Each structure stands twice: as C-alpha cells, then as structure tokens.
Amino acid sequence: MKIEGEYLFDGPREVVWEIVRDPDILATALPGTQSLEKISENEYQGEMQVRIGPVGGLFSGRVVISDEIPPESLTMTVEGKGKPGFVKGTGFIKLSPAENSKTQMQYQGDLEVGGRLASVGQRMMDSVSKSLLKQGLDSLNQALLARVSSAESGEVVDYEAPSEAQFAASVAKDMASDALASRKVWWIGAAVVLLIIILVIVILSQG
C-alpha cells in the first residue's frame, strides 16, 4: 500500500526538526506503550497494546532511521508484528523551507501488510491511512505552534495523558503534545501511527 502526501507546518524547519528528542516522554505519552527502548543510535524498538474500537492486540514495532540529512530528510524503515498479522514499511520524509517561515513536508511511504490484517481489512485501508496521517500531522503542527508560542511566552506546555478513545481519535496529537522530544522518537510515533492505521483497517472489513 502506497502512502503519499504533503503537509505545511506553521513553523521554521529547524524547529520542526528540533521539536523531537526524548523517547522516555513518548513512552508515557502513548497510551498502551509497554516498552520503548533505543537499541542503537538509529534503531528503536517498542511494544504497545493497541486498541481501536473493538479491535486490539499487542504489537511490537521496530523503527530504523537511515540516510538522514538534518534538518532536511530521512528514511525510516518500520516493522510491526502482532497476532493479527504484520506490517513492513519504508517511508521517506523531506522537509523544505516555505514562505513566511513555514515548512513544507513531503512524505512517501510503501507499506506491506500481511496476515488477517491484509485479508479482511481492505474496505477502507486508504481512507483510514489518509485521515490518521492527517490527524497525526495536524497534531504535530499544534505541538509545533505550542512550542513556538511557549518559546516566546516562556510558558511550559503541560501534558495531560489522554484517554485511549481520544488517543485513537487523534493519535499523534497526544504524542506531539509533549513528545516535544527526540527526532527519532517522532518517527517512532509515526511508526506507531502506521501500526495503528493498520489495526484500524482491520475493523473496517467487518459490518
């Protein structure tokens, strides 16, 4: 499955690139996250209990960051595995400066889905991925704005752990709202978004 798109961030590229740092915060930010460890400089592994509507399962995800050219582009490879099946994917993300200190993101992803996930979840795979990615990026953008404004006002952005329902509704919002942390972590966040996309997809074949 191909995922492709563009997104305009309301902040300068450096900040977009910088608002992501520390994995530990993310672990607490993502409900259901049971473990999240940094295996090597560019490799992260996580386990999370994901629930979307009635569908749930323990998913283990692995993210590898490669070819990164700060603050411009990088490639990420995602692998997720759970009882309902597996997901393998590669994503390329490019950030380029846009007018009035905004940032244009281009992303291309190719996702391979297998198992029950693939065989009964087709009815709306496309629309789920579209909408969840958009939600994720919107939320990240909000976090960006928060970061920018708080930088100006000096206020700290508080993080309030979301309910899983809110979480499922707008995955990355919660991540972003304080995973104002390590770059790698956001990509793990993105990986998780992908995993969740896949899980959501599963429900859709059912009526």
Partner 1 sequence: MKKYIGERIKRNEDPRLLTGQALFVDDVDLPGMLYAAFLRSDYAHARLISIDVSEALQRPGVVAVYTAEIMGDEWQPGPANVSPPPTVENITFHSRTQLPLAKGKVRHVGEPIAVVVAESRYIAEDALEDILIEFEPLEVVADIEKALDPEAPLVHDDLDSNLAAYMVQDKGDYQAAKTKADVIIKRRIEIDRGAAAAMENRGIVANWEARSQHLTVWDTTQAPIPIRNGVASRLGLNQTQVRVIAPYIGGGFGPKMMMHYPEEIMIPWLSVKLGRPVKWIEDRRENFFGTTQERSQVHDAEILLSNEGKILGISHKFLHDSGAYDPYGLTIPLNTESHAAGAYDVPNYHSELTVVFTNKMYTSPIRGAGRPQGIFLVERLLDIAARELGIDPLEIRLRNLIPPEAFPYDREIIDQAFALLTFDSGNYKPAIEMAAEKIGYEQFIKEEGPRLRAEGHTVGIGIIPFVETTGVGPYEGARVNIEPSGKVTVATGVGTQGQGHFTSFAQIVAEQLGVPVSDIDLVTGDSADFHWGTGTFASRGAVVAGNAIHASASIVRGKVLKLASKLLNAPEEELELEDGFVRVADLPRLSISLGDLAAEANPLRGAVEPGTEPGLEATAYFGPKSGATAFGVHAMIIEVDQETLMVEIKRYVVVEDCGTVLNPLILDGQVHGGVAMGIGNSYYEQLIFDENAQLLNASFADYLIPTACEIPNIEVAHFVTPSPLNPLGTKGAGEAGAIPVPALFAQALENAFADVGLEILEMPLSPNRLFELLQEKVSQP
Partner 2 sequence: MKPPPFEYIKPSSIDEALVHLAEHGYDAKPLAGGQSLIPMMNFRLAQPAVLVDLNNIPELSFIRRDEQGGLSIGAMTRHYMVEHDLLVAERAPLVSEAMPHIATTQIRSRGTFGGSIAHADPSAELVAISVALDGRFQLRGQAGTREIDARDFFLGMFTTQVEPEELLVEIALPPMPPRTGWALKEISRRPHDFALVGVAALVTLNGRDQIEAARIVLFSVGDGPVIAEKAGDLLQDQPATQDLFRAAAEIAGTEDVDPSSDIHASSAYRRQLVKVLTRQALETALDRARESVN
Q: Which residues bind partner 2 (CB under 8 A)?
A: 51-57, 83-84, 116, 120, 122-128, 130-132, 135, 163-165, 168-170, 200, 202-204, 206-207
* Selected binder of partner 1 within 28, 34, 35, 119 (CB under 8 A): 119
Identify which of 135, 78, 87, 118 has the alpha carbon closest to the alpha carbon of residue 202. Answer: 118
Pick one of 64, 113, 144, 185: the residue that binds partner 1 (CB under 8 A). Answer: 113
Q: Is 86 in the site for partner 1 (CB under 8 A)?
A: yes
Closest distance to partner 2 from the beta carbon of 159 (Å): 20
Residue 203 sits at φ, ψ, to 5 deg, of -65, -30
Report if residue 127 touches partner 1, rule: CB under 8 A.
no
- Regarding 205 and contact with partner 1 (CB under 8 A), the answer is yes
200 binding partner 1? (CB under 8 A): no
End-to-end CA distance of the chain: 23
Q: Considering the complex, what minimum distance in angstroms separates the CB of residue 7 from partner 2?
A: 15
Q: Strand, helix or coil at 75?
A: strand
183 forms part of the interface with partner 1 (CB under 8 A): no
For residue 67, is it left (φ>0), alpha (ψ between -120 and 50) or beta? left
> CB 109 → partner 2: shortest distance, Å?
15
CB of 180 to partner 2, least distance (A): 24
Kindly state the smallest distance separating residue 154's Cβ from partner 2, in Å.
33
When asked if residue 126 is in the footprint of partner 1 (CB under 8 A), the reply is: no
Q: Is 142 in the site for partner 1 (CB under 8 A)?
A: no
Q: Does 114 bind partner 1 (CB under 8 A)?
A: yes
Residue whose token pair is 């995993």 = 195
- Of 27, 74, 64, 28, residue with least CA distance to 46: 27
Scored b (16 or more CB within 10 A) or e, 1-32 reads bebeeebebebbbebbbbbbbebebbbebbbb
Beta carbon of residue 48, minimum distance to partner 1 (angstroms, whole number):
18
Q: Which residues does 7 contact at the CB level (< 8 Å), separation at least 6?
A: 104, 105, 107, 134, 137, 141
Q: Which is nearer to partner 2, 14 or 164 (CB)?
A: 164
CA distance 202 to 117: 5
Task: Tell me which residues touch partner 1 (CB under 8 A).
Answer: 1, 83, 85-86, 88, 112-116, 118-120, 122-123, 205-207
